[in-house]
Structure 1
Amino acid sequence: MRCDDERIRLLGIDAPELQGHCRAGRRCVDGDPIASSRSLADALYGSLTINRVGQDRYGRTLAMGASQVGDLSCWRLVHKQAIYKSQWDNGLRVARTCPRAVL
Structure 2
Amino acid sequence: MNKAELIDHVSARLGGRRQATVAVEVVVDAILREVAAGGNVGITGLGTFEPVDRAPRTGRNPRTGEPVPIPGTRAPRFRPGTYFKQVVADPGLLPEHGLAGARVSTSD
TM-score by length of 2: 0.25
Bigger helix fraction: 2
Structure of larger gyration radius: 2
